[in-house]
Amino acid sequence: MKRPVWTRVLVALSVCAVLAGGITLIVTSFQPRSFGWFAYPPQSEFIFTPGVGSFFSDPSFIGCLLIALGLIGLAFWAGFSLGSRRRF
């Protein structure tokens, strides 16, 4: 049975997203992170608001998001191909 073209495109994009996310995480894990200086009390008018979080830098968060989206696409493809196969 011939598979639709969109399933091949979905698999290719999902694999590329997982690989790009993994490479992004590997590259950004070797970069130093700056947590700021906290040895003095903050100013009364200043409110500290970190970017995405204090544990992930912005590129690391994007890498995790790419991996998650790629895995969701691959899970959708696996469920679709298992559900559409012939039953005997």
The answer to whether position 20 is within a domain reads: yes
The answer to whether position 38 is within a domain reads: no
Q: Tell me the three state secondary structure of residue 37.
A: coil
The answer to whether position 70 is within a domain reads: yes
The answer to whether position 6 is within a domain reads: no
Task: Please tell me the chain's helix, strand, coil percentages from 3-state DSSP, rounded to the nearest 5.
Answer: 60, 0, 40
pLDDT at residue number 84: 80
Round to whole Å and give the CA distance between 10 and 73: 7
The answer to whether position 49 is within a domain reads: no
Count of domains for the chain: 1
The answer to whether position 43 is within a domain reads: no
Round to whole Å and give the CA distance between 88 and 79: 18
The answer to whether position 69 is within a domain reads: yes
Domain with 62, as residue range(s), is: 11-29+56-88
pLDDT tens digits for 37-87? 666 665 666 666 665 555 667 788 888 899 999 999 999 989 988 888 776
Task: Tell me if 76 sits within 8 A of 10, measured CB to CB.
Answer: yes
